[in-house]
Structure 1
Amino acid sequence: TFIFTDPHMTNGQVIVTRAGEKSITDPKELAGLTVGVQLETTADIAATKYQEDIEFEVLRYNEVIQTFSAMKVGHVDVIVADYAVAIDYVNKDPESYQLTEVMLTNEPIAITIRKEDTALRDELNEALETLRESGKLKELSMKWLGDDYTSNIDEELNVVE
C-alpha cells in the first residue's frame, strides 16, 4: 500500500482535432464523433465518463502514438489525451493536429511513497511547499515541461490513499 504527497502539479485530459478543422469548444460537440484514446488510461476513463451523457464512439489503442496515427488516416475524428502528451504532438506536427481549449479533466499529480514512509512524505510536502512559494516549482515546470503545470490544481479532487 502507498501514500501520496500533496499534489504538486496538474495534468488534464484535452481534445485534439485535425489542424485546420473547426475547433471543439464544448464536450457536447463530441456527439456523433469517433474519439481515439489510449487504452486503460485516464483519457479512456474520461471519455467513458462523458459517454454517460453524450453519444459518441470510442476507439481504444494500446499506445498513444496509435491514436495520433489513427487520426491522420481518418479512423478517428478527435483524440482525448493528457495535455502534456497532446501539446507535444501538436507542437511537433502543427500541420496535422490542433489542440482545443476544452479541458475534460483537471487531475492532481502527487509523488507515491511506501505507506510506512510518513516522515519522508512530510519532508517532501515541506520541500514542495517551499518550491511552490518561491516560484521555483513553476520555473522548473516551464523549463522542463514547457508550460506551468503547477497552477490551477483542483483542490476538490482528492488524492487516492
Structure 2
Amino acid sequence: MKRKYHSLVSIFLLLGVIGILNGCSSKEATSVTDNQVILVGTQNDYPPFAFADENNELVGYDIDVVNEIDKRLDGYTFKFVAIPWDSMFLALESNKIQAIADQIAKTPEREEKYLFTDESYFAAETVIVVKSDRTDILTLEDLEGKTVGALAGDSYTLLLEEHNKKVDNEIILRYSESGNPSEILQDVQTGRIDAYVNDPIMINAVLEKFDLDLQVVGQPIVLDNMGIVFRDDEHGEELKALIDPILKELKEDGTLSELSIKWTGGDYIPE
C-alpha cells in the first residue's frame, strides 16, 4: 500500500530533512516502510503549476502530475520541497533533492548536464508581457535597448541572453533578487521595467490574482517541451527509466490532458 503523499512547503523543512539524512546511512535515510523517498524540488510561487494555497500546501499542475506518478509507482514515495528558482539546480546537484518538477524546458545546455524524461508532460509558449498602454513592443527585436525582467538560469532568460549575443543593441536584463515571477510582473506594472518574457498561462494567473493592468503582446516566440529533471548519474537513470513509462501512460489514458484543462483551461500536452 503506497504511503499518503506529504508536502514539504518550506525550505527550512528541507534543511531539517538534510540534517536527518546526514545522521543516517543512505539506505536508512531513503527508506520509509520499505518505500524509497524521492524529494522533488519545485517553486511555491509559480501558479498554476506549483504554488502554495491558502493552507500553505503545494498545489498545481506539476504537483498533480507527480502525485499521479506516485500513485502508479510502487516502492517509492514522492515528497515535495519548495525551493527558490535560483537554488533549484544546486539542490539537485548536491542531492538535497533527487528530481525537479517545475516546468523545466528541455534545452541543449541543460541536457548536457542533467537527465530529462523522454516524455514531455507539458508544452509551454514563450511570450512578451507589457503594460496595457504600451504599443511599441510586439517582438523580441522591439525589446532591444529596453529593460526586461529576468530570472538567472531560466529558459526565458537564456533565450534573451542568446539574442544579446547576436545584436549590437542589447536587451537590458534586470535580474530579480527575489526569484519571484509575480514580483517581476508587478515591476512591469509600476514601470520599473519595460517588459517580461515568460509563459502566458503563469502570466495570466498572476495578472488575475493581483489585478495587474498588463497584456501579452505579439506572437509566441518559441514553444518549449517540459520534462522532469534528474541528476546525470546511476540513480537519475534509474528514476528516469521508472518514470518515463508512467508519463507515457498518463498521456495515453488522458490523465495529463485532464490535469492540463483543470489547471490551465486548455490541453497543452505535446504529442
**Counterpart mapping for 1:1-161 below 5 A:** 3-6=115-118, 7-22=120-135, 24-54=137-167, 55=169, 56-62=171-177, 63=179, 64-93=181-210, 95-113=212-230, 115-117=233-235, 118=237, 120-151=239-270
Which 5+ residue runs of structure 1 have no aligned equivalent?
153-161
Distance 1:131 1:66 in 2: 34
2:124–2:226 Cα contact (<8 Å) kept: yes
Mark the CA change 1:120 to 1:42 in structure 2 (over 3 Å): closer, same or farther.
closer
Q: Which structure would you say has the larger RCO, counting Cα contacts within 8 Å and 6 or more residues apart? A: 1
1:14–1:86 Cα contact (<8 Å) kept: no
Letter in 2 for 1:122: A
Q: Deviations over 1:76-132 (max 9, x none)?
A: 111112344322223335551111243333332212346335454334222222222
RMSD: 2.7
Q: Could you tell me the TM-score, scaled by structure 2's length? A: 0.48
Residue 43 of structure 1 and its aligned partner are, at CA, apart by 2.4
Q: Could you tell me the TM-score, scaled by structure 1's length? A: 0.74
3-state SS of paired residue (1:46):
helix
Letter in 1 for 2:224: E
Name the structure 2 match of 1:155. Answer: none
Number of residue pairs matched by the alignment = 152
Which 5+ residue runs of structure 2 have no aligned equivalent?
1-92, 94-113
3-state SS of paired residue (2:165):
coil
Q: Which has the larger radius of gyration?
A: 2
